[in-house]
């Protein structure tokens, strides 16, 4: 006799062959359990159709139409996805509330003979879990905050720390944004910033991989990166943490920014559109001055000017307001590979003394 689907409201830490989200693609795109795959039993249009019939005709008709659509879609998933699975396959299946959609998929898979688990309460159970864990988990770590004026290669420094085995929380990578007016990550331009909920899912997954006995290195972000916000618990912990300031001469920062943001020098019209957002703060005269520098290709002067006029004052104000613990300053003469390596050596000594 085929096994019946199991139900669980606490799947965390357990190993499944796959995690299957059977919600519609739009629901899935807003947030999901990290690592889940989307095998919808109703796509977006079908879900809307069934909902309309439910409201305007009757629940009975909606169930009939929905059942036919679900059967068709599960059949396609069986021939296109599940056909290669062996007899030991054991997935976790969830929908919005752990109701009919996940039960339909789980029932068919169980009849084949696979051990299937349904997430009781569905995505809503998962979302409650994320909110609760993000209130408590950030408080378990000791953070060291890397600060420094724009162009100080803070992200590169964090990545080198990570490569050497330090625990690094790269918030800009999780947010797919560098946290400033020009902070859109060009390499991943085809990928939008994650939704607030999915950002929190990714953040929780990262924190759960960390050891509370070791330092967590993080950059001195504000509480908003692009369009996503840091959870309050993490933000409060960061503000109370030790801050290490990286000091780099402005000439080196200018050169680094021109190299790092070459997509803007290659697409000056996009750069001009971006800085137009500063008109209300600095006026038309300053914007025109910057546009002339961009149009003439004088990017070193433009970068130097916008750093001293906008980025540096804003960054100093933010860090002085938010990161008030005793700062340690580390100076670099330039941003050469050797200088960065020497700085990371110093930071790794701090890391090993924890």
- Residues that are catalytic: 95
Which two three-digit tokens encode residue 113? 């003979």
Residues 6+ apart with CB under 8 A from 345: none
Dihedral sign for Cα atoms in the order 139, 144, 150, 156: negative
Transcribe 76-130 into DSSP letters: HHHHHTGGG--TT---EEE-SSSSHHHHHHHHHHHHHT---EEETTHHHHHHHHH
d(CA 28, CA 22): 8
Transcribe 232-273 into DSSP letters: HHHHHHHHTSEEEEEE--HHHHHHHHHHHTHHHHH-HHHHHH
Q: Decide if 122 contacts 105 (C-beta within 8 A).
A: no
Residues listed for the chain:
354
d(CA 119, CA 152): 46
d(CA 130, CA 12): 11
Which two three-digit tokens encode residue 256? 């680094």
The three-state secondary structure class of 350 is: helix
What is the rounded end-to-end Cα distance, in angstroms, of the chain?
A: 56
């Amino acid at each position: 006799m085929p096994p019946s689907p199991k139900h669980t409201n606490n799947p965390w830490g357990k190993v499944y062959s796959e995690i299957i989200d059977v919600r519609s693609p739009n629901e899935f795109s807003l947030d999901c359990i990290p690592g889940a795959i989307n095998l919808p039993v109703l796509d977006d249009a079908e879900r809307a159709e069934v909902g309309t019939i439910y409201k305007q005709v009757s629940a009975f008709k909606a169930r009939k139409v929905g059942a036919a659509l679900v059967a068709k879609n599960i059949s396609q998933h069986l021939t296109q996805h599940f056909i290669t699975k062996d007899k030991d396959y054991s997935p976790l299946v969830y929908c919005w509330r752990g109701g009919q959609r996940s039960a339909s998929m789980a029932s068919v898979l169980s009849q084949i003979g696979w051990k299937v688990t349904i997430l009781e309460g569905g995505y809503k159970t998962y979302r409650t879990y994320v909110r609760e864990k993000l209130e408590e988990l950030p408080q378990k770590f000791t953070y060291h905050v890397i600060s420094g004026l724009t162009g100080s290669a803070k992200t590169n420094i964090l990545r080198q720390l990570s490569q050497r085995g330090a625990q690094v929380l790269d918030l800009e990578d999780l947010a797919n944004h560098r946290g400033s007016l020009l902070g859109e990550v060009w390499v991943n331009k085809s990928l939008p910033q994650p939704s607030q909920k999915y950002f929190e899912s990714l953040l929780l997954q990262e924190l759960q991989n960390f050891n509370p006995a070791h330092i967590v290195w993080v950059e001195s972000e504000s509480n908003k990166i692009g369009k996503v916000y840091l959870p309050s618990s993490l933000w409060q912990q960061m503000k109370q943490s030790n801050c290490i300031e990286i000091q780099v001469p402005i000439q080196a920062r200018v050169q680094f920014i021109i190299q790092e943001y070459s997509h803007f020098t290659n697409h000056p019209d996009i750069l001009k559109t971006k800085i137009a957002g500063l008109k209300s703060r600095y006026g038309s005269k300053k914007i025109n001055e910057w546009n002339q520098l961009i149009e003439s290709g004088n990017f070193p002067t433009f970068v130097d000017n916008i750093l001293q006029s906008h980025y540096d004052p804003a960054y100093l104000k933010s860090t002085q307001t938010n990161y008030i613990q005793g700062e340690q300053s580390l100076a670099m003469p330039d941003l050469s590979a050797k200088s960065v390596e020497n700085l990371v050596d110093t930071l790794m000594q701090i890391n090993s003394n924890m």
